Structure 1
Amino acid sequence: MAVEKKKEATPVTKRPEIVNSVETLKLRIAEVREAQRKFSTYTQEQVDKIFLAAATAATKQRIALAKMAVAETKMGVVEDKVIKNHFASEYIYNAYKNSQTCGVLEEDTAFGYRRIYEPIGVIAAVVPTTNPTSTAIFKCLICLKTRNGIIISPHPSAKNCTIAAVKVVLEAAVAAGAPEGILAWIDEPSIEMSVEVMKDADMVLATGGPAMVKSAYSSGKPAVGVGNGNTPALIDDSADILMAVNSVIHSKTFDNGTICASEQSVVVLDKVYDQCKKEFQDRGCYFLNDEERVKVGSIILNAAGNINAQIVGRSPYQIAQLAGIECPKDAKVLIAEVTEVDVTKEPFAHEKLSPTLAMYRANTYDEALDITDRLIIDGGVGHTSVLYVDPVKGPDKIKRFEERMKTCRILINTPSSHGGIGDLYNFRLLPSLTLGCGSWAGNAVSENVGIRELLNIKTVAERRENMLWLRTPEKVYFKKGCTPVALKELKDVYKTKKAFIVTDGFLFKNGYTKSITDQLDDMGITHHVFFDVTPDPTLPCAIAGAAAMKEFGPDVIIALGGGSAMDAAKMMWIMYEHPEADFADLAMRFIDIRKRVFVFPKMGQKAILVCIATSSGTGSEVTPFAIITDPSTQTKYSIADYEIMPTMAISDADMMMDQPKGLTASSGIDVLTHALEAYVSMLATDYTDGLCLKAIKLVFEFLPRAYKYGRDDVEARERMANASTIAGIAFSNAFLGVCHSMAHKLGAHHHVQHGIANALLISEVIKYNSAEVPTKMGTFSQYKYPHARERYAEIATFLGLPGKTDEEKVDSLIAKVEELKATVGVAKSIKEHGVDETAFMNKLEVMCEEAFDDQCTGANPRYPLMSEIKELYLSAYFGK
């Protein structure tokens, strides 16, 4: 009998009383992390209760904490620190009390899309000696609001008051239901401990000097750190001088200048310089003489070129004593009149965090901008800048200031200490005691830091299918002999007066246009015939037609012919209505026609388009596509947009009775390819499937008869006309595939008629698409898995072809296609068709790349690699 081994009890680690080593710090971080895991499950109601309790407790202790801070750091003014503590609790609470930080942020059930708020985890927060209690309160509160834990690393010279502030917030939060240990601190801070806490936390929230912020960003963890400030204030000669000077004094004396947004320099225009100086003097500021300026300047920085900690937050009198000079005990600010802006040469140009101020004289506004800009670039890029100006008289000056200053806060007529921290002089500027300086200062944020930076947003996106469509011309007329009835609407419905007919030379010379022009004459519609369209219409042909169209000024364009005439007419229509349109933009590729980069111009403003088919093949009379060749590159471009969908389509077998055998075969196989590709397209729908199947059946049944008997088999001609238009509607909405992409390039480079090019390729493409394990499948939300083989088998079943498995049915379908091709005289391979092998091989690589990039490729169910297209071309060439 097996004896169960007794499990050893997990040793319980005793909670450290104080954090004074790396080991005890790791234990405390683990404690905060466990508390945060529990806190992350809290509801918004629970969080808001805790947030209110913590803010209330901090507000009540604002005076006691202010006294502790001044006593411990010997910096600042108790009364001002009271305001900062009050601001950090009251203003922060009011800014975020109604903000959602838990649960679902946004939900759209129709699109299957949800965004959910999640906390980040444990935040490492470094707190400066200048604002040791207010910054601690601020950071603790925004962490509580966002369900994050926090561990505070105080400045060594302010650790007692900082820890006291955190304890006040923690006790109130726990009493309101927060987990024990959600807020913590380092009792004996050091550089080693600060580095460790930043390394072990999930995120760093750093406020302090450049070295500390750099350390935060180097910790390997996401960090929100803020840069140093060197705020200049420009006083324009249009400013309210009384307000400007007193605003600067108010800001600069606030807590003895310890807020990083406080003014470090004033730049005053010459016209009001003396007035400003007098106002500063009258309000208790002390101007240093040259000797005093040098002595005070000598103690502003330490040997390393950084701010001398002994002057930070001290009073003007204390700083004067330290420099060995005398000034009134009640002096508000020590002001040095200087000209040098280089911080390496002029200490007063540097950030000083004390009631000391540099004052510059500028002769012009441009010079003032130059000085201000240089002070920012050299010492406080990204932080804050101030302009005092008459906003009515100087909007252009405000604009120039905005454009020039590389600071994330640009304050207008505002004391910068109070204005920078937000919500006091502008209620849209978020309250914060951590002010981002953006990429200019190497910061991750450029705004006042708040709760947004402490939240992750989890996005849930359920698979949804795209909305599809069925787009057709406004009117589609079909039936042998329907043309005269349809054209009657040009006068009765559309009220047209001038018709421009686009056709080719053969149709014009053989009288196809006469029946149309005779009817137009009877209706009193003047007309012009352009008959220079050639097979595979070119861009110069379209340009020439558009020029003739512009001269004639039609309100209806009638395209008469096969795909070439209709494609040319569509391109001319675009150029006629929008001569400014760029061909490269029109031909720009897209993945989704609704999201294309180039938006097609609105058509139909000058003329409507009527398409009358004379061959049963392209279906262009009902499609939004046009194929145009650029003869300079021998490239065929697919122009596609529903804006070029014809207004009226006419499919009249009377116009098709005399198609020669070659055209009958070519256009008939083109119809079949349209329907086959549209049926297996990724964009195929129930609406297009029925059209495809009907068109395919009509082709197999009636193309051999139309080819053999021509005009003697009226039914075959009419049913092939129907098949062409039906397939055209199908592929106008489901699109085509790689067979057409390859056919376009084969035709462009080797002058193979389009329908024949499709015929030479389609069997190889069916085999290729039928792979159950393709290298890549196409990307479209409706297309869930490779199933082209199944789709081809459905076609075979509909046609009654033999086969027990899908694979056998696909083989039967290919055999049926090959049988049809043989019946209508299509060669078995590209080589047999007469394309020279050397010429084919020379163009092969180019054709592969162009076919891959053709507009039709995107809807193919199997996403083709260029190497696979090459194999398809080679197989089709040699007839493998």
Structure 2
Amino acid sequence: MTISDPIADLDTIVAAARAAQSRYEANGSQVRYDRAAQAAAWAIMEPDRNRALAELAVETTGLGNVPDKITKNHRKTLGLMRDIQHATTFGIIRDDPDTGITEIARAMGVVGAIVPSTNPAATPANNIINALKCGNAIVVAPSPKGVASCEMLIGFIHAEFAKIGEDPDLVQMVPAPGSKEKTQRLMETCDKIICTGSQNNVHRAQTAGTPAVAVGAGNVTVIVDETADLAAAAEKIRASKCFDNATSCSSENAVVVVDAVYDAFVAAMAQAGGAVVKDEAAITAALWPDGHLNRAVIAQDADKMIAALGLDGQVPDGTEYIAVPTSGIGPDHPLSGEKLSRVLALYRAADFDAAVVTTRQIQLHQGAGHSVGLHSARDDRAHMLATAIPTSRIIVNQAHTFATGGSFTNGMPFSLSMGCGTWGGNAIDDNLHWKHFLQSTKIIREIPAREPALADIFADYWQEAGA
């Protein structure tokens, strides 16, 4: 009897991916890259397969809900395809006679993609499409709960590849069962790591010795000020907070409301399905019964969440999420952190300036660099937040979950992975998108000299400081 060596098996997969990528690039064209990306996109967007993936994801991970995962799989992929439709990723991508530089698109090679269980189809599909669009092969490492969904997705992609004669070795996954050892080996042997998921995985990715793009933790805080349309804000927060049962890193975790409209906003929340539960100690104990988030609450439908928190009969019928008034921030106040559930921390601030202070403290505790939100009629306050808070994104008057990762009503790239800049320990502060899967070779030609005189550079300085 021959016993398989898991690491050797993974090495075989990476070798096959590397050989396939070499052929793909050597015989590449923009048409071929685009067609492969289309095939991968249709593999997840075709309605019957989309539903099958959504149902399997909820069944095997226990996270989220089927209708919202169907929506996510469809809209995230459609938006991505819109973003990359006219992007040039093969051949000459820039030819500038003024500088004498011609830039040639080049693939990165084999991408190793580490993906989470919260979006076990949408995130791998996003990475796969971007990789193929840019001439790469990709090997996906799903979380243990996401293995079944990833296997199904790749099976669908290979079926589409068969229709167009594309090489299935371009898209593979770490063989089940997954393990830290296999994922580590992938990160060490691929050419580029793309990592979305736990901060433990992010740390491992960024220390694996391979160029890596990793993203940070979310803990979205949203300010509602005295100029906000309260009914609209409450409805947008409800829609965002409840979407896919708060599995998204962009789901609101805290709302900071200025005192002048606090009571009116609480009433608007109630109209939109948000119930205020004032027993902070009881909710905290039920959410973290053993110091870890309660799995019976994480990413569950409202009725299951309410039951698991012991709130049956204590909140109105039709409650979709709960808001817990609190003032504490930091490690001793877990409500101030990410909750991955239909539970919102509710803060009261004396005025907008105080709301900014609270929001900054929450972000410094957890979620720095990711995103914050603002519901306000004053655009200048968005500018104030942009310089006062350690964050990469200020989402203004929008449902945060739908806006942060790209929307058909804003200009952000469609993505499921948010870079958090140095605030979040990341190399990027953008939404992960196709440019992070592409590199280039520059041809540099000689041009007429453009050497300035010293006065051209220093005249104003000399005038102020002296020569």
Distance 1:146 1:593 in 2: 42
- Cα gap change, 1:397 to 1:107, in 2 (>3 Å): closer
Q: 1:241 to 1:328 in 2, by over 3 A?
A: closer
Residue 408 (structure 2) aligned to one of 417, 424, 428: 424
For residue 256 of structure 2, give the secondary structure of its aligned residue in structure 1.
strand
Matched, 1:314 2:290: no
CA distance in 2, matches of 1:356, 1:19: 45
Distance 1:595 1:449 in 2: 42
Is the 1:268–1:361 Cα contact (8 Å) retained in structure 2? yes
- What's the CA shift for 1:302? 7.0
Give the C-alpha shift of residue 316 in structure 1.
3.2
Kindly provide the amino acid, as one letter, of the partner of residue 127 in structure 1. V
Task: State the Cα distance separating 1:308 from its structure 2 match.
Answer: 4.5
Partner residue in 1 for 2:364: 377
Moved over 6 A (4+): none
- Which structure 2 residues correspond to residues 73-88 of structure 1 after superposition, within 5 A? 73-88=61-76
Contact 2:236 2:399 (8 Å CA) reproduced: yes
Q: 1:600: how far off?
A: 8.0
Of 354, 357, 360, the match for 1:367? 354
- 8 Å Cα contact 2:321/2:342 also seen in 1: yes
Q: How does 1:537-686 map to 2 (within 5 A)?
A: 592-593=452-453, 596-599=456-459
Structure 2 residue 15 is the aligned partner of structure 1 residue 30: yes
CA, structure 1 residues 219+467, in 2 after alignment: closer, same or farther (shift >3 Å)? closer
Give me the whole-angstrom Cα distance separating, in 1, the residues matched to 2:185 and 2:449: 53
The one-letter amino acid paired with 2:402 is H
CA–CA distance in structure 2, aligned partners of residues 162 and 143 of structure 1: 16
Q: 2:67 & 2:447 partners in 1: Cα distance? A: 63
Per-residue deviation, residues 90-111 of structure 1 (Å, max 9, x unmatched):
1111110110000011124575
Task: Indicate conservation of the 8 Å contact 1:127/1:153, yes or no.
Answer: yes
Shift of 1:467: 4.7
Residue equivalent to 2:428:
445
Q: Which of 1 and 2 has higher RCO (CA within 8 Å, sep 6+)?
A: 2
Deviates more, 1:263-272 or 1:172-181: 172-181
Matched residue SS, 1:597: helix
Letter matched to residue 59 of structure 1: M
Residue type of the partner of 1:374? Q
Q: How many residues get paired?
A: 456
Equivalent residues of 1:33, 1:122 under 8 A apart: yes
Partners of 2:317 and 2:365 lie apart in 1 by 33
Aligned amino acid, residue 313 of structure 1 = A
1:406 offset after TM fit, Å? 1.3
| 8 A contact 1:335–1:358 mirrored in 2 | yes
CA distance in 1, matches of 2:380, 2:39: 47
Partners in 1 of 2:18 and 2:301 — Cα distance?
Answer: 42
8 Å contact kept, 2:262–2:348:
yes
CA shift for structure 1 position 20: 7.9
Shift of 1:171: 2.8
- How far does residue 62 in structure 1 lie from its aligned partner after superposition? 1.5
User: What is the match of residue 386 of structure 2?
Assistant: 402
Q: Is the 8 A contact 1:414 1:425 kept in 2?
A: no
Residue 411 of structure 1 aligns with which residue? Answer: 395
Q: Which amino acid aligns with 1:398?
A: A
**1:205 counterpart residue number:** 194
| 1:704-732, Cα deviation, whole Å (9 max, x unpaired) | xxxxxxxxxxxxxxxxxxxxxxxxxxxxx
Give the 3-state SS of the residue equivalent to 2:281 in structure 1. helix
Q: 1:226 to 1:465 in 2, by over 3 A?
A: closer
Q: Is the 8 A contact 1:317 1:329 kept in 2?
A: no
Q: How far apart are the structure 2 equivalents of 1:346 and 1:261?
A: 20
Q: Is the 8 A contact 1:20 1:188 kept in 2?
A: no
For 1:150-549, what aligned pairs fall within 5 Å after superposition? 150-186=138-174, 187-290=176-279, 293-301=280-288, 307-326=293-312, 327=315, 330-342=318-330, 344-390=331-377, 394-426=378-410, 428-462=411-445, 464=446, 466-467=448-449
**Aligned amino acid, residue 68 of structure 1:** L
Deviations along 1:203-235, whole A, 9 cap, x unmatched?
111111211111111111111111110100100
* Pair 1:92 & 2:77 matched: no
Inter-partner Cα distance in structure 1 for 2:289 and 2:183: 23
- The residue matched to 2:203 in structure 1 has which SS? helix
Q: How far apart are the structure 2 equivalents of 1:147 and 1:307?
A: 41
Alignment check: 8 A CA contact 2:57 2:120 kept: yes
What is the CA–CA distance in structure 2 between the aligned matches of 1:369 and 1:231, rounded to whole Å?
Answer: 13
Alignment partners' CA distance in 2, 1:71 and 1:330:
25
Q: Kindly provide the amino acid, as one letter, of the partner of residue 117 in structure 1.
A: A
Unaligned runs of 5+ in 2: none
Unaligned runs of 5+ in 1: 1-15, 469-590, 602-629, 631-636, 638-880
Q: Which residue of 1 aligns with 2:134?
A: 146
What RMSD over aligned residues (CA atoms) do the two structures have, in Å?
2.4
CA distance in 1, matches of 2:21, 2:251: 36
The one-letter code matched in structure 1 to 2:88 is Q
Distance 1:372 1:109, change over 3 A: closer
| Residues 188/49 of structure 1: CA separation in 2 closer, same or farther (3 Å cut) | same
Aligned-partner Cα distance in 2 for 1:19–1:361: 59
Query: Using the alignment, how far apart are the partners of 1:345 and 1:33 within structure 2?
Result: 48
CA distance in 2, matches of 1:246, 1:278: 12
Shift of 1:595: 9.3
Query: 2:37 matched to 1:54?
Result: no
- Contact 1:230 1:261 survives alignment (8 Å): yes
| Aligned 8 A contact 1:421 1:432 in 2 | yes
CA distance in 2, matches of 1:442, 1:163: 31
Map of 1:539 onto structure 2: none
Q: Aligned to 1:436, what secondary structure does the other structure show? A: coil
Confirm or deny: 8 A CA contact 2:297 2:309 kept in the other structure.
Answer: no
Q: CA deviation at 1:51?
A: 1.8
Alpha carbons of structure 1 residues 396 and 112: separation in structure 2 relative to 1, 3 Å: closer
Whether contact under 8 Å (1:316, 1:356) holds in the other structure is no
Q: Deviations over 1:471-496 (max 9, x none)?
A: xxxxxxxxxxxxxxxxxxxxxxxxxx
Per-residue CA distance 1:822-864 (angstroms, 9 max, x = gap): xxxxxxxxxxxxxxxxxxxxxxxxxxxxxxxxxxxxxxxxxxx
